[in-house]
Structures are given as C-alpha cells and as structure tokens.
Structure 1
C-alpha cells in the first residue's frame, strides 16, 4: 500500500506493513511503553495493539493511581461483528484498570455518512452495540450516550468549528466540493466526543485514550490539533543567553490578568511581559503545568490534554483479504446464530498446505490463517495454550480439519454465552441511564 494515500475512516483500509505508519504518520510502537503497563491486555501481549500516540501518559496515570479516561465510539450502520468487539474489549479493559469510560454512539455520523434515519440509528445503536457492550462487561459507572442527544458534544462541536476550516478538513480527510456539510460537522462531533471526558463536569483535564484501528487516525490527528488550538495558554521551554533553561507561558487567547495570576503562583523568579510570563530558576515542568492549567480553568478555558491513542491491527476476512461489513461471509456478527457462526469457521481460509501429506511434512502457516486469528484475537486467553497451537501448526502435527472443528466449537460456545448475556443486558438499560431507549429493543 502507498502510505502517501489519505487514510479514509469511512472506507476499507488494507495495511500490509504496519511499520510504515510509524514513519508516515508519527505513530510510535507499543514496545516503547509495554514494559511499564500493569497487567497488559492480551492484544498488547500479542502485538495486536501495535502502536500508540503518547500512551505513556495513560501508563503513568495507571501506575500512580491518577485520573484518566477512555473514549471510543461506534457508528450504528449495521451488525456489530468481531472487529467491533475488539474496540469494546479495549474500552472495558481500560475501565477495569481505573479509567472513567465513555462510549459514544455516532448516530450523527451514521445520519450524515450512511443516510440512516434517526430511529434506525437508535435501533441499531441499542440492539447491536450497546447490548453487546454491556454483555461483554462494560460497567454502569461508565457513560454511554448518543451523539444527537448529548448537549455537551453538540455544543463542543460548534466551538471546535471556530478553530478549523474546510482547507484543514480537506487536507486530513480528502473532502472535496461534493462533500456534504453534515459529513464535515460529523468529524467535529467526533472530536467533541473525544474531548468530552475532560470537561469540568467530569473533573476536568486528564489523559484520555482512544483505542482505534489505524483507519481512524485522521480523527485523532484532527482532535489533537484542536485541543492545542482550544487552549488559552501555551508552555514553551527556552534558553537564555547563558544556556540556562526557563519556561515561557505564552498567552494565546486568555484575559491579560491571567499572566499576573501565573506569576503570583509560579515557583522561582518570574517576570510578566506583554503577551507572556517567563519563569526562571526551576525545572519542575509538572508544577508549572499544574499552575497554568488551574489558572486557565479559573479563567473559563479548557486546558485540554491532547488525546492519546492506541492502534490495533485489523482482523482479516474469514475468506482472506479484508473483513467488510458489506460481505457477510467475511465476518462473524455477535448476534449470529451460533450454528451459523460455527459453519463460517469451518468454511474459512486457513494457512494449511494443499494435501494432508504436505501439511505433515512442511507444516502450516498460522500467520496467514483466519482460523488462528479467531483464536488469537478472541477465543483463547491463555498465551501458553495459543503458543502450543502455533507450534503444533508450524511443525505439521496439527491438521486444519481438527483445528477448524475445535475453533468452531469455541465460537459456537462464545456466541451462545454472549447472546444469553445480551438478553440479560436488555433488563439493565436503566442502570446505564438508557431507559428511554427501551422502546427500540427487540
């Protein structure tokens, strides 16, 4: 793939070499922070989560017991499948690790991009996404909402619109003259989703992680830029003529009095100039940041922390190639009949050889096997067991037929259990503040 192409969040993205994303878009490998992550999720252990942007902020918060949030969303345009489950699993793990968890149902996006009615968006949002999210373990202390019904998000999207323009959105998303205005507004709504956990009513600025596939990176890049633009103040590190480091707090849009407030609370020696205040004699950036953040909040600003992101690899389709919502044979939905799900596993593409004799002699290729992916991504939590399956495959002692049968049984069991939990979730909507949507449940 030519990584000079625009990444399209609404298209299908097939990445053969994920390492290109590190150089092309500035994504960092997860290995940079992995050793400091407490009890890493299996996606991290297995390098399914392969990259990040500033995830060290989240890791620090976990280790220090400090506040942090997780936010992601789902466009309710069809059946939720195992690809969507990946994001749900990551949200729930972060919630278990102490995050204040947010999930937005992107009905504004579905209305603008897919042309679905509001009622259809809510029906799909509840029946496909929210019930599965609850069934997988999302706790009621989190926040689930529809974009179209969330005043915070709608108001923030309007404010963010004053900090960007058509040219910037076109450069990020490839919008052209035919792009409808609602589609453009939906991108700002997504940015508002991502920044909502940092509003005062949710205890203000804090590191916030967005678990996504690489195709959603344009939303992350846009929102990180908007977070910087929305902040009233900027901290710069500078050197004087003698090479001594000092901090310069630059005023972007705050009332002038805030500079005097910063000087009043700043450690070390400080001096106010027109448009900035310089602080000398300290290297304590965190102390300066806390002061600047508090002063900005008192002045009515946001002092956003630019959002953090983790990026996961895509599952391939059951028949190889891309997993596509337009091709039912390429995926297994969470609402799929368990027997049909098992049949799909048995019909799926493997990395085995043409003949049994050749398989025993040469072994299989689990790295090119959709059945092994199902085990690795969703059906086996024990790393040792997964390694044993991998070794048996490449050594030629594990045959594709028996492996498919085993995986099909696990898939059937998972779907049956999950769907039983979905039925229980229907009775729990009030716990999540979603009782008004009960009429859409079927």
Structure 2
C-alpha cells in the first residue's frame, strides 16, 4: 500500500454516482459496493504484504478489514518499538450487539501484539443530537456500554476511555480550536445536510477524538479501525490535521465491511427493527434468535439441499463464523466445503454458529459480571490530570480556557 500521508483525501459525499446505495455515519442503505467506496474515499486495498505484517486476526486475514490509509506508518512505528496508537469508539444509543464489540476485540489484539495505546471515546453528545432520546436515556446506555467496553479486557496502562460529556473540560476546548478550520461546505460535502447545528459542529469533536493520543503523548502514527460508514470522520480529521498547525500526523484508518444483519447482507444497527444478538443475551436466547431470524444460503427443501448444496457466501451463520467466531482457516474451509456439497445442512450450520457465539458471550459476560462499581473500574482508564493539561497545551488552548 503506498504511503498517502501527503495525498489529498477525498471529501465528497458518500452516496454513489448512481445513488444505488448510501453510506454515511447516520444512514446506510442499499447494496453496498465496497470497491466503489474505495474509489470515492481515496483509500487503498490492503495487500497481502500488509496483511502479513498486521497482527494475526480473522478479520484481517479474511479481509473483513479490507482497505486503509497510512497503515505503513503505523506498522513502521510498531515494528521499531516507537509510540503508536489506535482509536476505536462507541456511540451509546442502545445496548451493544456483536457488530459493535468486534472492533474493540480487534483493537485489543493490536494492543497485545504491537503494544499500542488504545483510545476509546464514547460519543454520548452525538447520540443525543442524532437520536430521539433524552439525556437520561443516553446516559443509561453509556453506563451499560462502558461495562461492555471494560469487559473486553484492555490493559489499563495502555488504554484511555473518554466520555464526551464527562470529559468536556478536555474535549470541548480542543474541538473549538479545530472547528475554526472546518467550513460548513466541508461538513456538508462529507456528511450531507445536517438537521441541527449540533451535528454540524460534531465533526470537530470527532477530530478531537482521533487526534487526542498525539495531543496527550506526542506526535505518533494513529490507526482507526472502523466500518466504512464511519470513514467520513477520519477524512475530515485528516483534512483538519493537514491545515492545523498542531504537532500531529494525519490519523490512518483500517476500513471494514459490515457484519451482516441476521436477516441478510447489510449493516447491523441497534436502531434497526431487525433482530440482533446483544452482548447480554444468554445461550438460549442466542439459539432462538439464530433459529428464528438467521438468513441461510440453504435450499428450500432437504432433497434440493442434499443435491445442490448451500451457498456460504450469503449464509449469515457462516458469515458470523468467517468474520470472527472461527479462528481456524482450515476448519472454516471444511465447513464451507461441507455446506456447498450438501452434506452440512442449514440447521446444522446454525448450531455451529450458535455454539461459537454462545461460548464467546459466556466469557464476555463473565468478565462483565465480575466488574465492581463503574466509577472504580473506570478510574484507571481515565485521562490523568497531567494528561489533560498536556492535551490542552499541545492544542494551544489559552490559559483562560483551561479548567
């Protein structure tokens, strides 16, 4: 992948030329053409050479994360033992489901393998602005989501968790500093027309999230593993970083495909009417949900399936295994081969996926349930007073604006 640090990032709107699909942080519709998105966003496909250098993870090996920007800068720093960081966040608009937590577990793998510092911002302010929910409701979602983030098991010495409203003393002054370099035309070109001035301002807050590791700990490569609908945030931040006289590099990105909805290909969303598997579901609920709702690639009758076989490429239980829940490539291929041959039935494939997902959730819930008081558990992950001062000083926030 070529180094694109000095290239011009494309900031045009994310609807395709033929308007057959739309991908923005606030709406995903249609049949997403991932390759066309690369053309529009100006990102580069991940090559085999880069995949070999990235931490081993099924989402990397199987190109669930399939493209990026400035991945080489991150890898060079990691391989040299120099400082480097990841940023991956959560918008707390409801309970977390599988699609929300998988990027967090990917970030944990990076932290374990490369020693990265991981920043996890929770954008409770954005969700209040974008959703028809009260502050109290968003606050409850935030508290429950934080328990799931903590249950992932990040190293507190190398992890910082930031909540926009709780950490406004740091986030807001820096966002104001960056907002001066964002025009309404830029925001509209990337996000489309926004309903409120709050959402028009929010890209400055998001840019603060992505630059915070460097403002706290000095200039360093920063990688942002995200689904493609969140890429506008990175593109705007890269544009701001290029214009702003701050001691920062443009953040890089790893762009991922969507974990499909149980009802078929497409994005999982907590606000959708479609069924999903939440992180607090027990094994019986997981089994019932998959039996009832999971779209399969099997045939209409047992006889037809035995004769013609199934299609794992559109089978949601198989795709869940492929995305995360079957680490062994040889075993995954065996399952696919048996399914295509008709020897493995759709119900049997559902049972395999159910068992793997249930096992994952049992361990996640065990860690979640073992947490104590949220305030006590969160404290080691919060920005220290010295880190807060350093971030504001690096951003050039005047003394009169510092808390």
Q: Same fold (TM over 0.5)?
A: yes
Residues 13-412 of structure 1 correspond to what in structure 2 (within 5 A)?
13-31=29-47, 33-96=49-112, 97-127=114-144, 129-141=145-157, 142-150=159-167, 151-175=169-193, 179-199=195-215, 202-231=216-245, 302-322=246-266, 323-327=268-272, 329-347=274-292, 348-412=294-358
CA RMSD in angstroms, aligned pairs only: 2.2
* Alpha-carbon spacing, 1:191–1:38, altered in 2? closer, same or farther (3 Å): closer
> Which secondary structure does the structure 1 equivalent of 2:161 belong to?
strand
Separation in structure 2 between the aligned mates of residue 36 and residue 324 of structure 1, nearest angstrom: 31
Q: TM-score, normalised by structure 1?
A: 0.77
* Alpha-carbon spacing, 1:36–1:435, altered in 2? closer, same or farther (3 Å): closer
Separation in structure 2 between the aligned mates of residue 147 and residue 360 of structure 1, nearest angstrom: 54
Residue 395 of structure 1 deviates from its aligned partner by 1.9
* Alpha-carbon spacing, 1:402–1:341, altered in 2? closer, same or farther (3 Å): same
Residue 121 of structure 1 deviates from its aligned partner by 2.5
Residues 36 and 59 in structure 1, CA contact (< 8 A), matched pair in contact too: no
Residues 51 and 61 in structure 2, CA contact (< 8 A), matched pair in contact too: no
Residue 32 of structure 1 deviates from its aligned partner by 6.0
Task: String of CA shifts for 1:289-347, please: whole Å, max 9, x gaps.
Answer: xxxxxxxxxxxxx2210010001110111121433323454311111233111111112
Residues 371 and 404 in structure 1, CA contact (< 8 A), matched pair in contact too: yes
Task: Give the equivalent residue in structure 2 for 1:275.
Answer: none
Residues 7 and 173 in structure 1, CA contact (< 8 A), matched pair in contact too: no
Hey, which bits of structure 1, 4+ residues long, moved more than 4 A? Answer: none
Q: TM-score, normalised by structure 2?
A: 0.84
Task: String of CA shifts for 1:101-139, please: whole Å, max 9, x gaps.
Answer: 100110110121114333333321121x22112222222
Aligned residues: 361
Separation in structure 2 between the aligned mates of residue 74 and residue 49 of structure 1, nearest angstrom: 18
**Is the radius of gyration larger for structure 1 or structure 2?**
1
Q: List gaps (5 residues or longer) in structure 1.
A: 232-301, 437-442
Q: List gaps (5 residues or longer) in structure 2.
A: 1-13, 383-403
Aligned with residue 26 of structure 2, among 10, 32, 53: 10
Residues 299 and 309 in structure 2, CA contact (< 8 A), matched pair in contact too: yes
* Alpha-carbon spacing, 1:147–1:336, altered in 2? closer, same or farther (3 Å): same
